[in-house]
Amino acid sequence: MNKSIIIGLLLSNSLALNASELDLGMGIGAMYYPDYLGSNINNTRYIPYPYIAYRSENLEIDGDGLQQDIFDWKSLSVRLSVSGSLPVNSSGARDKMSDLDPSVEIGPALVYTLYDKDGLSFKFDFPIRAVISSDFKGVDYRGYIYDPKLSFEYDFADGYNFQLHTGGVFANQKYHDYIYGVKPNDVMIGRDYYKAKAGYSGYKTSMGISKKFDNFWIGSFVRHYSLRGSSFKNSPLVSKNSAIYGGFFMAYIFDKSYTDRIKNWIE
């Protein structure tokens, strides 16, 4: 979902950039994920997506979002953080409640580089994202999320890239109540009324590895959430205090002569 949004950002933000590189392609991924954090219902889904990587002297667009240096202080940068969630057909603990619409999370992230040398980097990343959902008839604002984290990344000599991210997740009351709140008309035996509060959403640790070949890119990730001590732990919609996400992705990268023509047209 995030890479499709980045297409628009690429076209609207790169018009005046020079000395750049652009890679375009098409890929498919397999995702394993729960309905929502705390759900005991898991899903597997196959997702087609566009592959986009853009690099210039002061702007970079890839699967992590859009990152651009600010001021002349190279340790500090800002990027556009983009994420999202797939729709949930309510069942299990949410049986007979409203479905959860697909959502997009978007907002700025402040990135401070602690160390970056010889392919190894440590960064502190502080994103804050507004959550917007849609049932394709209208658009609703669902609150906001922020998840400060430490990021470790290492580029191996043979082209592999390894990433590790770890940190807490937080959200406001509006977002927590959208996912974990139980309204009076949703109360039933075993599901009491519940109004969620703002605060701690859990602790997230994710690892990923990827490699780019001449015309192919492959990658995989695994992500663990611990919900112990979360502000919504007493919601009747929380069935588990942990969650696992995983995925495998591969993409075919278009020939350089084709992408260079597009890059020249954009610039």
Which tokens sit at 233? 């732990």
Closest CA to 127 of 175, 159, 80: 80
Q: Tell me what pLDDT residue 16 has.
A: 34
The three-state DSSP-derived secondary structure of 27-76 is EEEEEEEECCCCCCCEEEEEEEEEEEEEECCCEEEECCEEEEECCCCCCE
Asked if 82 and 104 touch (Cβ cutoff 8 Å), the reply is yes
Q: Answer with the residue of higher pLDDT: 31 or 258.
A: 31
Q: Rounded to whole angstroms, how far apart are CA atoms 110 and 123?
A: 10
Q: Tell me what pLDDT residue 30 has.
A: 95
Asked if 107 and 81 touch (Cβ cutoff 8 Å), the reply is yes
**Percent of the chain having pLDDT more than 90?**
63
What is the mean pLDDT of the segment spanning 114-137? 94
Give per-residue pLDDT as tens, 169-185.
999 999 999 999 999 99
Backbone angles phi, psi at 228, to 5 degrees: -60, 130
Give per-residue pLDDT as tens, 26-74.
999 999 999 999 999 999 999 898 887 776 655 666 555 555 555 546 7
Asked if 208 and 224 touch (Cβ cutoff 8 Å), the reply is no
How does DSSP classify residue 241? Answer: S
Tokens 């039933």 correspond to what residue? 188
Q: Rounded to whole angstroms, how far apart are CA atoms 68 and 45?
A: 32
The sign of the CA dihedral 229, 130, 174, 1 is negative
Q: Which CATH number is 131's domain given? A: 2.40.230
In the chain, the number of structural domains is 1
Domain that holds residue 235: 2-266
Backbone angles phi, psi at 153, to 5 degrees: -140, 140
Q: Tell me what pLDDT residue 203 has.
A: 98
Please, where are the H alpha helices in the chain? 2-13, 173-180, 256-266
Q: Tell me what pLDDT residue 77 has.
A: 83
